[in-house]
Amino acid sequence: MVDRAQGRLKPRVAVIGGGWAGCAAALALADGGCHVTLLEAGATLGGRARRVRSDGFLLDNGQHLLLGAYQETLQAIERAHGTDSLPITLKPLALVPFSDRQANALRLEARSWPPPFGLLAGLLLARGLSIAERIATVRAFARWRRASFRCGRRTTVADLMDGVPEAAATRLWTPLCLAALNTAPERASGQIFLNVLKAAFDGDADASKLVVTVGDLAALFPDAAMRSLTAQGHDVITGAAARIAGFTPTGPEIVTAQGVHRPIAAVVAVGPHQLARAFTNEIASADADVAHAVAVVNELEWEPIVTVYLGYEQLVSLPPGLVRLDDNPGQWIFDRRDVLERPEGTAPALASLFSVVISARGPHESLDRRALVAAVDEQLKRLRPSWPTLAWSQVITEKRATYSCTPAAFRPVVGRLRAGVYLAGDYTDADLPATLEAAVRTGNAAAAMVVRDIY
């Protein structure tokens, strides 16, 4: 234990992994009176929500949704930016089709009313469902709410939708399940899905609003976190693959190519599939607590997310809101004109840039890059015959974007793994799927445990 009153040097704590969980943990540790060393193996911070440079464009490695319900994420972003103006705005949640020609066309806008009336009004006024289907959908949500958004441990999202009109299931709940859990409804955890619905539609009036960001995700949080940390005298080291190699009476011993670190504690905030590599083979196999956590993670299954960026020389626009495609193969399309406002010198001249997202497993995985681009481009032209000629493209695939959020998915618990070592990461949150909010929440929670234990 460290005595604050003696005015000693700040206790040194290492954070292994510079994703959103690691950045959140580092900021919280700094606020808690620790000296932080943030160690990131990659060249940039951000983890599975990082910056990718491609032909002069600063792209996200995948599209991530942010909601007003993500309070800890929004607070962390605000903390990182300090007095700077935040590059975000909140807009009412609206689901709109890319084209009225598509069979799954649905228009729904949640009203800015006290919950749950905003969503219920949006459901009742939705276009693309019959009156009977809208009423049945409202009844289904009301039933879940009466049950306090609780269901059986083995219940899947498909089980929850039993009795829900097929049109509502395929046009509303299935795409929301894929977007939130990145897992198909027949495999996805019903309880985690209900947790998401409760947070978004049974919180305050802003909880269901979309958080619209300007620029890439790295600029939104990891870059700002690094500036904040370094300005306070903390250490942020990239290109530093770190492994816990042993334990001393005063804390873990961490080895990197740049040297050895001996902090009083360490937060391991790497991706779940990287957990074993955060320890030497001897520690990962011989230490019972570490070995158990690695074994649990090795039982998880993984889901990909594919993002197809498409650029055009003509200016074209999307309607405001979350824009749905017909799932053949793209599911959602986002206007990324903001990326074009910050090109590097080599970027081609484009007037429009869009990202098309395909979540979870599916037939698209068998297509190579060129075939997938062609399939998505054909999809857009099929739905909008006047769509312009493609001028530029890029495909970014995160094969292990998330774990499969199934009822059977057993995860390590956030917090103390063993003396001096703490876990953080979206896969350690028992209540949420693998989201930015889960990452930030667990980073904050692990940091709070460290501060409590050492003071």
Looking at residue 238, which CATH number applies to its domain?
Answer: 3.50.50.60
Q: What is the pLDDT of residue 3?
A: 57
Tell me, yes or no, whether 200 and 228 share the same domain: no
Are the C-beta atoms of 228 and 408 separated by less than 8 Å?
A: no
DSSP-H helix ranges across 309-368? 337-340
Tell me, yes or no, whether 139 and 271 share the same domain: no
CATH number at residue 364: 3.90.660.10
Tell me, yes or no, whether 296 and 307 share the same domain: no
**Containing domain of residue 378, as a range?**
302-403
Residue 60 has pLDDT above 60, yes or no: yes
Q: How far apart are CA 429 and CA 438, in angstroms?
A: 6
The per-residue DSSP string of 23-59 comes to HHHHHHHHHTT-EEEEEESSSSSBTTS-EEEETTEEE
Cis peptide bond upstream of 329, omega within 30:
yes
Mean per-residue pLDDT of the chain = 94
Q: How confident is the model at residue 8 (pLDDT cuts 50, 70, 90)?
A: low
Tell me, yes or no, whether 220 and 288 share the same domain: yes
Are the C-beta atoms of 254 and 244 separated by less than 8 Å?
A: yes
Residue 342 has pLDDT above 90, yes or no: no
pLDDT, one tens digit per residue, over 222-265 is 999 999 999 999 999 999 999 999 999 999 999 999 899 999 99
Tell me, yes or no, whether 283 and 416 share the same domain: yes
Tell me, yes or no, whether 145 and 102 share the same domain: yes
Q: How confident is the model at residue 112 (pLDDT cuts 50, 70, 90)?
A: confident
Tell me, yes or no, whether 154 and 190 share the same domain: yes
pLDDT, one tens digit per residue, over 64-90 is 889 999 999 999 999 999 877 788 889
Residue 190 has pLDDT above 60, yes or no: yes
The Cα-based distances of 109 to 127, 321, 409 in angstroms read 10, 9, 33
Q: What is the arithmetic mean of pLDDT over 303-313?
A: 97
Q: What is the pLDDT of residue 19?
A: 97
Query: Under DSSP, is residue 272 helix (H, G, I), strand (E, B) or coil?
Result: helix
Q: What is the arithmetic mean of pLDDT over 210-214?
A: 87
Cα angle 352, 358, 359 (rounded to 5 degrees) comes to 140
Q: What is the arithmetic mean of pLDDT over 150-174?
A: 96
Residue 115 has pLDDT above 90, yes or no: no
Q: What is the pLDDT of residue 113?
A: 85
Q: What is the pLDDT of residue 2?
A: 63
Any idea of the CA torsion for 149, 153, 158, 163, to the nearest 10 degrees?
-60
- When divided into structural domains, the chain yields a total of 3
Residue 7 has pLDDT above 70, yes or no: no
Within a 10 A sphere around the Cβ of 256, how many other Cβ atoms? 18
Tell me, yes or no, whether 448 and 422 share the same domain: yes
Tell me, yes or no, whether 291 and 434 share the same domain: yes
Q: What is the pLDDT of residue 28?
A: 98
Q: What is the pLDDT of residue 124?
A: 94
Tell me, yes or no, whether 22 and 171 share the same domain: no
Q: What is the pLDDT of residue 203?
A: 83
Q: What is the pLDDT of residue 4?
A: 58
Tell me, yes or no, whether 145 and 272 share the same domain: no
Are the C-beta atoms of 400 and 302 separated by less than 8 Å?
A: yes
pLDDT, one tens digit per residue, over 407-417 is 999 989 899 99
The per-residue DSSP string of 431-445 comes to SS-SSHHHHHHHHHH
From the list 158, 96, 98, the residue with the least C-alpha distance to 128 is: 96
